[in-house]
Structure 1
Amino acid sequence: MLKIENVRKVYGNGVQYEALKGIDLTVDDGEFIGIMGPSGSGKSTLLNLIATIDTPTTGSIEIDGVNPAAFNQEKLAKFRRRELGFIFQDFNLMPTLTVEENIVLPLTLDGEKVAVMKRALHEVAATLGIESLLKKRIGNISGGQAQRVAVARAMIHQPRLVLADEPTGNLDSKSSKDTMELLEQLNTENRSTVLMVTHDPFAASYCQRIVFIKDGELVHEIHRTESRREFYDKIMYSLREIVGANDEF
């Protein structure tokens, strides 16, 4: 599904800063992977490159055998809408639109038929339990509900890869649990491939694999072969060993 080979990202023309230093990572179809590391480690840079928001300085990123960096802007925009789903910490919803208008936005931009949009809308709304919210404005729903709407928008076009950036960052503990159970459900039942950047060990415990990044390099990874509670403990131990007591996380 995702193949990252020797990816470097350098910023600046004069004094340069190397944000990523030769990243190699392979993600199989249907995996649920978390990316963790201290602040400034390169997590967001890596996610932006995978999301095609930015391009590598060197190296390559292939998504389902395709290198989006070779596309022109029009083809790249279409690729994002059709192949990728995005879930953001701040939801990134449009407050002037209703819940249903936000959810179908990717299909609207693609000029999909109304009948197709309605069918897809009601299928995803039923799956996520948000049918009663469809006519409401974004400002009239809770943070947990808004995150469900964001997940619905990310999933409505059945993307090959879902990218989540701190999806529980602005949620209370109950909403965080609901969101992660929802992502886990979509991963196991829909076989959606999910790649999530998070600083939250609780959220990370829902993943099948965690890769740790520090100073622009992948330094460690762990796999979930035990209960979620035991995996949480393994994550906490790895963070103490890798991040260190003096690093901001």
Structure 2
Amino acid sequence: MLQVKNLSKTYGDEIKYKALKALNLTVEDGEFIGIMGPSGSGKSTFLNLLATIDQPTSGTIELNGKNPNELNQEAIAKFRRRELGFVFQNFNLMPTLTVEENIVLPLTLDGEKISVMKKKLSRLSEQLGIAPLLKKRIAEISGGQAQRAAVARAMIHQPQLLLADEPTGNLDTKSSKDVMKLLQQLNKREKATILMVTHDPLAASYCQRIVFIKDGQLIGEIRQMNGQKQFYNEIMVNLAKIEGVENEF
């Protein structure tokens, strides 16, 4: 459903910095993929390109056969709003709105009927365990609850692809596990396709596949084959190799 071909991104005019170098990746419908690598490896750049927040220097991104970078600004905004869902480390919720108002915001912007919004909101809030929070303001709920609300907002319009950028970065251990179980549940039950950038090996162990990026290049990947605990251990070993510290253990 997602095809990335020879994707490159270079910043600067006189002094050029290649953030991504001819990266290729195929994502099948319903996959849950983690993107990992050292700081400055190109993970966030890659996610920004997928999110159409930035444009590639060369190469293509196709989501179900559509290349958003061939669209005009108005069409790109509509593509981003309808085809993609976003979950951020800092939640990016509107503090002046209630949880309910935050969740339905994408549908409000699209002019959806109130009856349709209420139906989708009811189903999703029950599924994600946040129905009792809908009338509360963002300041009145915990970080874990806020991230659940952010996931609900990202999924309310049933996007083709959910992009998560360090979704557990500001959460404690229990809240992190709760959010990752939630994403895993959405992936398995709703067949949501998810790409997640993370530094956290435990969060990554909830994925089906991990793609490793270093110096702007895809340098390898592993798949979960023998359960989450074994996958966590494999992730740790691969991160140690990538960081060049495997001989210190």
Under a length normalisation based on structure 1, what TM-score does the superposition of the two structures give? 0.98
- Provide the residue aligned with 1:28 in structure 2: 28
CA distance in 1, matches of 2:223, 2:243: 18
- Provide the residue aligned with 1:71 in structure 2: 71
1:136-182 superposed Cα distances (whole Å, 9 cap, x missing partner):
00011000000000000000000010000000000000000000000
- Provide the residue aligned with 1:193 in structure 2: 193
- Provide the residue aligned with 1:38 in structure 2: 38
Kindly indicate whether the alpha-carbon contact (under 8 Å) linking 1:30 and 1:187 is maintained by their aligned counterparts in 2: yes
CA distance in 2, matches of 1:105, 1:244: 44
- Provide the residue aligned with 1:48 in structure 2: 48
CA distance in 2, matches of 1:25, 1:184: 21
SS at match of 1:168: coil
Question: How far is 1:244 from its partner?
Answer: 2.0
**Residues matched between the structures, number:** 246
Kindly indicate whether the alpha-carbon contact (under 8 Å) linking 1:125 and 1:131 is maintained by their aligned counterparts in 2: yes
- Provide the residue aligned with 2:205 in structure 1: 205
CA distance in 2, matches of 1:139, 1:245: 41
Question: How far is 1:8 from its partner?
Answer: 0.6
- Provide the residue aligned with 1:236 in structure 2: 236
CA-atom RMSD, angstroms? 0.8
1:87 aligns with 2:87: yes
1:12 aligns with 2:16: no
Q: Which runs of 5+ in 1 are unaligned?
A: none
- Provide the residue aligned with 1:132 in structure 2: 132
CA distance in 1, matches of 2:171, 2:245: 25
Question: How far is 1:83 from its partner?
Answer: 0.6
- Provide the residue aligned with 2:216 in structure 1: 216
Question: How far is 1:243 from its partner?
Answer: 2.0
CA distance in 2, matches of 1:38, 1:203: 16
Identity within the alignment, %: 68
CA distance in 2, matches of 1:128, 1:147: 11
SS at match of 2:97: coil
CA distance in 1, matches of 2:84, 2:244: 34
Question: How far is 1:131 from its partner?
Answer: 0.6
CA distance in 2, matches of 1:112, 1:104: 9
SS at match of 1:104: helix
CA distance in 1, matches of 2:5, 2:23: 6
Which aligned runs of 4 or more in structure 1 are off by greater than 3 angstroms?
Answer: none
SS at match of 2:189: helix
Question: How far is 1:190 from its partner?
Answer: 0.2
Q: Which runs of 5+ in 2 are unaligned?
A: none
CA distance in 1, matches of 2:145, 2:118: 20
CA distance in 2, matches of 1:5, 1:136: 44
1:168-226 superposed Cα distances (whole Å, 9 cap, x missing partner):
00000000000000000000000000000000000000000001000000001001101
Under a length normalisation based on structure 2, what TM-score does the superposition of the two structures give? 0.98
Question: How far is 1:99 from its partner?
Answer: 0.3
Question: How far is 1:242 from its partner?
Answer: 1.2
1:116 aligns with 2:146: no
Kindly indicate whether the alpha-carbon contact (under 8 Å) linking 1:214 and 1:243 is maintained by their aligned counterparts in 2: no
Kindly indicate whether the alpha-carbon contact (under 8 Å) linking 1:91 and 1:146 is maintained by their aligned counterparts in 2: yes
| 2:126 alignment partner AA | A
CA distance in 1, matches of 2:241, 2:154: 34
- Provide the residue aligned with 1:153 in structure 2: 153
